[in-house]
Structure 1
Amino acid sequence: MIQNDCDVSPLKQQLVSRLQDVTKEIDQVVAGLDNENNCLLGRIEGLKEKFEAIETAASSFYLNCYLSPFVNKFVDISSSIQHLSSLRHGALIVIERKDLIDSYIKPGTFVGANLTAALLESIFFPGNPLHDGAVLVRSDQIYSAANVLPLSKVNAGEKKLGTRHRAAIGLTEQSDALVLIVSEETGRVSFAIDGNLYPIITSSSLI
């Protein structure tokens, strides 16, 4: 993955805090092994949940790092993703980075408008003719909508992955694009990069 310098202090502090908390709990679990009457299965299960929370926090932190060199509208993207998630409006948003992706997608409808949260949300509103497919963000513009992305063949057998997720993974297997996905079924948000999928935080103003 491309590593970028970024300053996202609240997310970084949250990540550090969670790592410190789980480190302390691991030490307590190790110390508790000396007591044969102390069953630690419940605490180990709790650690699993905390590691999943750490993964989500880390994904949110690095998402900003990956986006910041290529788009200045992170706040607008974050706001729209939060709202789409809360409404469970499915979305697929491609952030073009160094690689031009025209040759990897089936082009949809040209938009050519400045990126705003309101416009991004309106495109994915159910019933909008452009809502089915992916939005392409190029620099700070919504370049086009209703684009069709290549589906991942590697993940074709994964029943848990819907078409949006397979499309996001498929494009990022072939280019350095970053793709944001909002699940219509659950409202959960994730992003794909380098052919991998990561969950991100949507419980605050930071994703």
Structure 2
Amino acid sequence: MRTVQGEGPSLGRHCAFVRLGGCNLGCTWCDTPYTWDWTGAGDSGTAWDPRAELHAMPWRDVAERLRAFRVPLVVVSGGEPLNQQRRLVPLLRDLNASGHAVEIETNGTVMPSPEVSETVRFNVSPKLAHSGEPEGRRIVPDALAALAVLPGTAFKFVCQRPEDLDEVAELTRYLGGAPVWIMPAARSRDELDRTLASLGDAVVARGWNLTTRLHIAVWGNRRGI
């Protein structure tokens, strides 16, 4: 789909998204449960049907569709894209050859392969305790450290309240000085405004970057944006 990047260092850039299915985590507040939640484990309680939500497609067909959008940036998201990173390699190389910049959104629990790392920039979003996942599943120090040293990597943390920033501070020991972005947890414009305002002063005081979630500010909780 063609849209704009809603978060982080590429906020507002014209882009196309490739959204993959499947995730190795199950965050209760996930805003894309239709990519992985086949049992209703999330807080919506909806069990999505993978036969309706997931559509297999040869990578060459995906590349052709993306080129037709005529955008400079492609964002690969999920679910967790690095669960399928070997399958992504030919698509990523093709996009590089056609002049596209590529970003991968990842939860930071999967070690990136050299073949993928050489073709993309990573937006890493480690999950905090409010995700409902135990720390041993959501925080993989070796994977975070490997991602942190790659050129252009940025770390984005979803925060619900200022107290969450203490947890982020603890995790920065794995990030090697890579830039940190804080973004508000929100599913509506009102929630976005409230949470962003509550975080702003504390984020600035810590010297981190602050990002809104532009897709929610513009389109609310509409799917397919």
Instruction: Note whether the superposition's TM-score is higher than 0.5.
Output: no
Greater Cα radius of gyration, structure 1 or 2: 1
Bigger relative contact order, structure 1 or 2, given CA contacts below 8 A and separation 6+? 1
TM-score, reference length from structure 1: 0.27
TM-score norm. by structure 2 comes to 0.26
